[in-house]
Amino acid sequence: MKKVLSAVAITLVMSGAAYAAGDAHRNTGCGLGTLLWESKADNSILFQAFQATTNGTSGSQTFGISSGTSNCQQPSKFVSSEKLINFVQANMDNLAKDIAMGKGETLDTFAELVGVNPADTARFNAKLQANFGKIFTSEHVVLAEVIDNALTVANS
């Protein structure tokens, strides 16, 4: 597997910890618990019944083919895939869940995006699950750290 991942992470000398003190304000919305729909969920049980659902156009951007992640600190330069960064930013909760559970579609997608050989995904998943605490180091963990940590673990 090391060989597989080497294409995207040859020398991950810089661990996530090096970034931890990065600009905090730049990392708003780059961590866990980031909701994409601030206005859509409603706690009121009555209004839940009469709430409108837009069937999907809640954002102002209708063509989000390459949505930016400029407000997030970027992972080490070896994983510069915009698709990967966008994906992890938008799906960090589900990625954490799948890693903890050892499988899932979000984890499969992550594995594909970082270039894991399909034959190696079971080992990749198991390794990440066993090292969950090394990837999601704290509740303030951000995008760049998660990606770097996961690749460090996978390559260890």
Partner 1 sequence: MPGPSRVVAPLSRLFCFFVLAFSVPTLPLPAFCQTDPYLEQLQKHAILQKLPDERTWEVLLHYTRTLTGNLKSRIDDPKFFLARDGRTNPQAELMATLGEMFVPPRKDGEYTACRFPARYDWLSAKLRIDPTRLPAYQCSERDKSLGAVEANSAVLVFPVGHINSPASMFGHTLIRIDGTSKSNLISYAGNYAAITTDTNGFVYAWKGIFGGYKGYYSLMPYYIKVKEYNDLEHRDMWEYRLRLSEPEVKKMLSHIWELQNIKSSYYFLDENCSYNLLFLIEAARPELHLTDRTGVVVLPTQTIGIARESGILEDPRYRPSQGTRIRNIVSLLDSDAQQWARDLAYGAREPASLDQSGRPATDKIAMLDAAIEFLQFRLARKELEQDAFNKSYLKLLARRSALGAAPQELYNFPEPSRPEAGHPTTRIGLGGGERSGEGYLSLELQPELHALLDPDQGYLKGAQIKFFDAALDYRLPDHGFRLRTLHLVDILSLTPRDIFFKPLSWKVNTGFDTEPLRDGTDHLIYRLNTGGGFAVSSSFGGIWYTMGEVDANIGSGLRGDATIGPGLSLGALEQLADWWKLHLAASGFWYRLGDDRTLVKISADQNFRLAQNSSLSLLFSLSFANSHRTDDASLRWNYYF
Task: List interacting residues with partner 1 (CB under 8 A).
Answer: 31-37, 39-43, 45-58, 61-67, 83, 86-87, 90-91, 93-94, 96-97, 99-103, 105-106, 108-109, 112-113, 118, 125-126, 129-130, 132-133, 136, 138-140
Tell me the closest approach of the beta carbon of residue 153 to partner 1, in angstroms: 12
Half-sphere CA count of 72, side-chain side, radius 13 A: 26
Rounded to a whole number of angstroms, the minimum distance from the CB of residue 126 to partner 1 is 7
Q: How far is the CB of 12 from partner 1 (least distance, A)?
A: 21
Our CB check for partner 1 shows the closer of 13 and 65 to be 65
Contact 153, 131 (CB under 8 A): yes
Structure tokens, 33: 């618990």
Maximum Cα interatomic distance, the chain, rounded to a whole number of Å: 55
Compare residues 13 and 64 and give the one whose CB is closer to partner 1: 64
Closer residue to partner 1 in complex, CB, 78/87:
87
Nearby residues of 111 by Cβ (< 8 Å), 6 or more positions away: 121, 124, 125
Residues 45/80, Cβ–Cβ less than 8 Å: no
